[in-house]
Structure 1
Amino acid sequence: MKQVVQNYRSGELALLDVPVPGCKPGGVLVRSANSLISTGTELMKVSEAGMSMLGKARSRPDQVAKVVQSVAANGVPATYRKVMGKLDSYTPLGYSLCGVVEQVGTGVDDVAVGDLVACAGNEHALHAEVNWVPKNLYARVPDGLAAPHAAFGTVGSIALHGVRRGEPQLGDVALVVGLGLIGQLVAQLLAASGVRVVGADPDPVRRDLAARLSGAACGDPADAGLAATVAELTGGHGVDQVYLAAGGGSNQPVELAARLSRDRGRVVDIGKCRLDLPWNAYYEKELDVRFSRSYGPGRYDPAYELEGRDYPIGYVRWTERRNLACFLDLLARGRVDVAPLASHTADFDDAVETYRRLRDGDLKAVAVLFRYPEAAAETQAPAAAVPAAAVPALGAPAVAAPRDGTVPGPVRAAKAPVRLAFVGAGNYATSMLLPHLSPHDGVELAAVVTTTALSAANAQRKFGFAEATTDLDAVLGDPSVDAVFVVTRHSSHAELTRRALLAGKAVFVEKPLALTEDELDGVLAAVAESGNDRLQVGFNRRFAPLLREARRQFGARTGPASLRYLVNAGRLENGSWYLRQDAEGTRFAGEGGHFVDTASWLLGADPVSVYAVASPGGEHLQVVLRYPDGSTATLSYVTAGPPGFPKETLDLVADGKALRLDDFVRAAVYEGRRKRWAGPRLPRGRDKGQRAELEAFLRAVRTGGPMPVPLPSLVATTAATLAVRTGLAGGAPVTLAGPR
């Protein structure tokens, strides 16, 4: 299928061929009939992409701050790869469309195939021939409402939520500053609510349009006549509400709002305009400044938007979805008229040229609609959902795992490249794994599988995958694929690993292997059922060159050791998927295996017991691991430490010797009264072992030799990580069983 995309680094716009997205549970596949360009919001994004790197940095200081933090935590090379990978990727455009339901995911019962729906969301209602849309981001189109008009549903919801934030009453007078698409809709909604509307915009064409559609008394914001109009309508008191629907860098809108508002009036910011509030003016009138967040309650809440958890109507009357349905109803009943706003309709095949004309000013329009070709006989993408599966009974492998790297499958020529498939192409895969694999002479990137079309297309373009698809079953069934990398969100790791093992593939799965004991048992059951134990978990720190050399310099030990590992994990941003503990597990369950594995590798054994204690609120976690020879490892996992402090520091003491590692930048070994060995004083950067780990995995797949980390050790590390939760709940040490 085709999709409109933009490269944020170069500003290039393209109509790209991408895979059809899979139909996941809790949503529907929608074939677009019409999608809407909001000439204000989208052209601002297009213009920003055309800026120089300095201009981009100035426009997004929040992102610059994140880059600085990443450099401190991960070093310049890793941060550079991550940032440039994001910049040099195609990003989607669009957020408002109408289309026909083509496929219904499990858990959806309010629409059927063939229904016409309006869709919202800048990750789901894209300018693309087919989109997957979650349940709370679509609404059925009322009978009789045409698809081109229903395509205004999202921008209508933005305007509607802004009006609700102003709390207008019958007889009020409201000022709408900025009469672009959102401003025009706000004016119509206010008029439909019994509010007298005054419009302000420097463009006479937009003023005339607002006067015709909403009966607004309009004027130029720089003209003194506007203040006279407000005074006449309000008896000199000023307007009850001001709705800021303007963009740009001028502070004129907020200054105008202060001049024309009544005492204790309300100012609602809907657009993205400059907000340097003149303090005296706002203070003297005690103006109530409010923000309107997009389509309404539920916006930016993953539980609402992605998981379909609605807010009870008794507590939240107007959510995103209910606003969308309400606006469609107003359209259907003729209370709002969008037909005059769509001043241009273009064929979807002409999308790039349409954006160019808008950007260059050759095409002047309040809103532009794309018209899509009628549904073609295109092969429907299979559902990308991971089915729930009963955990088979545990047991020993029925047969020894074959050692040719593919189980089963044709015998590969000794010098043939290892054919890899990636399931997932997120930040970690594209910044830490694929940059090492794509130039590798002994590797062929066969396929990348994602549930979203554009991420697969981006990975294919940047790293040279032979195929980009959403069809996981086809990839697992391809006998020429030697190994599968599972680099998805944590909740899917165990099931995807299980399926890949049963398909006879060697598997590299990013940590964690499992989030529950049942998931771990399911992976082991797949090993037993298939006889395939070709598994590696992404515990890369034991492969870090500096740490390996430090351990070699430390030498063998005869007595028990004491190990201390401090992890300054830092705080997560609000909205991070790591915080979704009900779906993705705790943060320690997700990454704690890294530190358990490193400690066990340094001590040369697997832990036999785990004791965990957390501070109130869980900001600090202490985990004590005990080993067979009496050695102990204390992991201090903290999230409230200062960002300028190193992320990882480790000390190992035994037999009168000590090993010190400072954040994979410096290391030293002490013995007696002196420092016996020290790492390089000018390190090349933080190398946490990803490259060496990948080389070891590829070597094992190519030669049929042992996996880099024995399966019992992977299982023991995962079991110890999971035992932390049990220990915290019980307040007592947890004894770990032997090999499962």
Structure 2
Amino acid sequence: MAAVVRLDAPGCVTITEEPDPPLHATGVRLRTLFSGISAGTELTQYRGTNAHVVKTWDPGTRLFTAGRPEFAYPAVVGYEEVGEVVEVGDDVTAVRPGQVVWGVWGHRATTVVEQDYAAARVLDPAADPVLGIFSHIGAVALNVVLDADLHVGETAVVFGLGVLGQIVAQLARRNGARVVAVDALADRLELAGRLGADVALHAGEGGVAERVRRLTGGRGADVALEVSGNPKALHEAVRTVAYNARVVTGGFYQGEARGLFLGEEFHHNRVDLVCSQISGVAPRHAHRWDRARLNATVIDLAVAGHLRLRPLVSHVVPFTDAAWAYELLDTRPDQALQVVLGFSGTDGHDHRHGDE
């Protein structure tokens, strides 16, 4: 039997066990080292606000409809995992025990994957294993920046400096943009500046659009990247960009978009509103970019030191403290950024902003 972290109902996290999956001839058994908790999609499942919890997604019509939700409790969630190969099937030649593999298999102590899956996701042995948890959220960030179509010398404003926003800001700067980072939490603004943002603006002081216009000689930003999931931030992002400029939305908005006024700057400035969502790559990129390339690119950049991801980890806690970890992210976001569940004796309490 293997331990799993399970959502039994909104706000209810339990630790239970499930049978170890059998190992087949081409299978690779992984022992989880770390599993990151997503403060975006995963928290919507924890809160019970995710659209998939209350409605049915029809893949044929690509519409949400009333009916039995496709997401049902209890459920094992999670999509930011890294583990060690501990056993391989008789026909496996591509990986060996002891190698570290990143991927998606949920908050569970062990799993079995196909050897091709594992072989494509082997982490550099010299790298910090925790970097492996960023493959998915990093891919989301990279997709946002691809959708933004940034150019050297442009001004990009990033709204929301959670894990996603911190990675978006770094990628935008690597694309040659001058990055303006916006958030309502002072610690996150300080971290963004330390990781390379050119300007940090506190959203609580108001007038973000006006301040950005002063920074750009009255023109406004070339692009805004809204990744907070807050409709009020989306409205300010629309106000912040120049005439006929782009706003890329990567945030996961919940409920009604209260605070968004589409009859104002959006209408009068012909703002181009672009949705970025990890389930699809923009058609102009799709023949070259897919999910696997997005994932691998982020890990390669992190291992090479071009993306500084280790400082985003605010806490590493034992998986047995999962209920506390979810509650922390849900109710005290000012005290946490990337919270990681440690498995297999790799954990420790309250490790904040670790060294790179």
TM-score bucket of the superposed structures, by smaller chain = 0.7 to 0.9
1:166 and 1:241 in contact (8 A); partners too? yes
Structure 2 match to 1:34: 34
Q: Distance in 1 between matches of 2:55 and 2:41?
A: 19
CA contact (8 A) 2:31 2:344 kept: no
Q: Deviations over 1:532-554 (max 9, x none)?
A: xxxxxxxxxxxxxxxxxxxxxxx
Q: In structure 2, the residue corresponding to 1:214 is in which secondary structure?
A: coil
Give, as a single letter, the amino acid of the residue that structure 2 aligns with 1:335. Answer: H
Sort the Cα spacing of 1:356 and 1:334 in 2 relative to 1 into closer, same or farther, 3 A. Answer: same
How far does the alpha carbon of each residue in 1:457-484 deviate from its partner, in whole angstroms, 9 at most, with x for none? xxxxxxxxxxxxxxxxxxxxxxxxxxxx
**Does the CA-based 8 Å contact 2:185-2:334 persist in structure 1?**
no
Alpha-carbon shift at residue 350 of structure 1 (Å): 2.3
CA offsets 1:671-696 (integer angstroms, 9 cap, x no match): xxxxxxxxxxxxxxxxxxxxxxxxxx
2:290 maps to what in 1?
319
Residue matched to 2:232: 252
- Say if 2:134 is the partner of 1:152: yes
Once residues 108 and 272 of structure 2 are traced to their aligned partners in structure 1, the CA distance between those partners, rounded to angstroms, is 40
What code does the residue aligned with 2:243 have?
D
Matched, 1:354 2:325: yes
Shift of 1:358: 3.6
Give how far 1:367 is off. 0.8
1:193, distance to aligned residue in structure 2 (A):
2.0
Matched, 1:4 2:16: no
Q: Which letter does structure 2 place at the counterpart of 1:282? A: F
CA separation in 2, counterparts of 1:26 and 1:297? 30
Corresponding residue number in structure 2 for 1:21? 21
Whether the aligned pair in 2 keeps the contact of 1:22 and 1:132 (CA below 8 Å) is: yes
Q: Which amino acid aligns with 1:40?
A: G
| Aligned: 1:340 with 2:307 | no
Q: How many Å separate the matches in 1 of 2:39 and 2:286?
A: 35
Letter of the 2:232 partner, please give it. Q
Matched, 1:263 2:264: no
Give a deviation string over 1:354-390, Cα, whole Å, max 9, x none.
Answer: 3234444398201111121159xxxxxxxxxxxxxxx
Q: Which of 52, 57, 60 is the matching residue for 2:54?
A: 60
Map 1:127-146 to 2 at 5 A.
127-133=107-113, 135=116, 139-146=121-128
8 Å Cα contact 1:296-1:323 kept in structure 2: no
Structure 1 residue 93 and structure 2 residue 107: aligned? Answer: no
Residue 198 (structure 1) shift:
0.9
Give the drift of 1:46. Answer: 1.0
1:210 is matched by which residue type in structure 2?
A: A
In the other structure, the counterpart of 2:165 is 183
Q: Quick one: distance in 2 between partners of 1:106 and 1:359?
A: 44
Asked whether the 8 Å contact 1:34–1:99 carries over to 2, the reply is yes
Do 1:136 and 1:321's aligned partners in 2 also have CA atoms closer than 8 Å?
no
Q: Match for residue 195 of structure 1?
A: 177
Distance 1:218 1:115, change over 3 A: same
Distance of 1:238 and 1:57 partners within structure 2: 34
C-alpha distance in 1, partners of 2:48/2:308? 31
Q: Is the contact made by 2:208 and 2:240 (CA closer than 8 Å) also made in structure 1?
A: no
Displacement of 1:326 after TM fit? Answer: 0.7
Aligned-partner SS, 1:345? strand
- Structure 1 residues 12 and 280: alpha-carbon distance in aligned structure 2, compared to 1, 3 A threshold: closer
After TM superposition, list the pairs within 5 Å mapping 1:579-658 onto structure 2: none
Residues in 1 aligned to 2:88 and 2:4: alpha-carbon distance in whole angstroms:
21
The letter of the residue matching 2:236 is L
TM-score, normalised with respect to structure 2: 0.81
Partner AA of 2:38 in structure 1: S
Verify: 1:278 aligned to 2:272, yes or no: no
Unaligned runs of 5+ in 2: 58-63, 347-356
Q: Secondary structure at the match of 2:108?
A: coil
Alignment of 1:392-407 (within 5 A): none
1:44 and 2:44 equivalent?
yes
The answer to whether the 8 Å contact 1:119/1:133 transfers is no
Higher helix proportion (structure 1 or 2):
1
Asked if the contact 1:139–1:321 (Cα under 8 Å) also holds between the matched residues in 2, the reply is: no
In structure 1, what is the Cα distance between the partners aligned to 2:272 and 2:235?
A: 14
Q: CA deviation at 1:253?
A: 1.9
1:209 equivalent to 2:191? Answer yes
Shift of 1:348: 1.9
Seen in structure 2, the aligned counterparts of structure 1 residues 222 and 59 have a Cα distance that, compared at 3 Å, is farther
Q: Deviations over 1:639-694 (max 9, x none)?
A: xxxxxxxxxxxxxxxxxxxxxxxxxxxxxxxxxxxxxxxxxxxxxxxxxxxxxxxx
> After alignment, is 192-201 or 33-42 more displaced?
33-42
Change (3 A) 1:368 1:295: farther
Shift of 1:104: 5.0
Q: Of the candidates 276, 281, 285, which is equivalent to residue 292 of structure 1? A: 276
Query: Whole-Å Cα distance in 2 between the matches of residues 321 and 291 of structure 1?
Result: 20
Aligned residue among 216, 232, 243 for 2:225: 243
Q: Determine helix, strand or coil for the equivalent of 1:140.
A: coil
Partner Cα distance (1:219, 1:284) in 2 = 25
Secondary structure at the counterpart of residue 75 of structure 2: strand
TM-score by length of 1: 0.41
User: Larger Cα Rg: Structure 1 or Structure 2?
Assistant: 1
Post-superposition offset of 1:40: 3.5
Instruction: State how far apart, in whole Å, the 1-side matches of 2:91 and 2:146 are.
Output: 31
* CA separation of 1:86 and 1:355: change in aligned 2, threshold 3 A: closer
* Per-residue CA distance 1:192-228 (angstroms, 9 max, x = gap): 2221111111111211111111224121335345334
Q: Partner of 1:2: helix, strand, or coil?
A: strand
- Does the 8 Å CA contact 1:173/1:233 hold for their aligned counterparts? no
- Kept in 1, the 8 Å contact 2:103–2:132? The answer is no
The 1:46–1:116 alpha-carbon spacing in structure 2 relative to 1, beyond 3 Å, is same
Q: Quick one: structure 1 residues 369 and 262, their matched pair in 2 at CA, closer, same or farther if it must change by over 3 Å?
A: same
In 1, Cα distance between equivalents of 2:94 and 2:147? 29
Asked if 1 retains the 8 angstrom alpha-carbon contact of 2:139 and 2:295, the reply is yes
Q: Which secondary structure does the structure 2 equivalent of 1:188 belong to?
A: helix
Worse-superposed segment, 276-285 or 252-261: 276-285
Taking the aligned partners of 1:105 and 1:235, their CA distance within structure 2 comes to: 63
The CA distance in 1 between the partners of 2:23 and 2:273, in whole Å, is 42
CA-to-aligned-CA distance 1:546-591 (integer Å, 9 cap, x gap) = xxxxxxxxxxxxxxxxxxxxxxxxxxxxxxxxxxxxxxxxxxxxxx
Question: Runs of 5+ in structure 1 lacking a partner?
Answer: 50-55, 71-82, 299-313, 376-740
C-alpha distance in 1, partners of 2:156/2:89?
44
Give the AA of the match of 2:313.
A
> 1:208-255: CA deviations, max 9, x gaps?
11111122412133534533442243222111111111124xx31221
Question: What is the percentage of aligned positions where both structures have the same residue?
Answer: 27
> What amino acid maps onto 1:18 in structure 2?
E
Q: Work out whether residues 210 and 240 of structure 2, in 8 Å CA contact, stay in contact via their aligned partners in 1.
A: no
Letter in 2 for 1:5: R
Pairing 1:161–2:161 present: no
Alignment of 1:460-479 (within 5 A): none
Q: Give the secondary structure class of the aligned counterpart of 1:152.
A: helix
Distance 1:111 1:295, change over 3 A: farther
> Aligned equivalents of 2:26 and 2:214: distance in 1?
53
Please give the secondary structure, in 2, of the residue aligned with 1:278.
coil
Q: How many Å separate the matches in 1 of 2:288 and 2:88? A: 27
Cross-structure match for 2:342: 371
Q: Distance in 2 between matches of 1:41 and 1:365?
A: 16
1:223 aligns with 2:205: yes
Pair 12,297 (structure 1): closer, same or farther in 2 beyond 3 Å? same
**Which AA in structure 1 matches 2:170?**
Q
Q: Distance in 1 between matches of 2:159 and 2:334?
A: 23
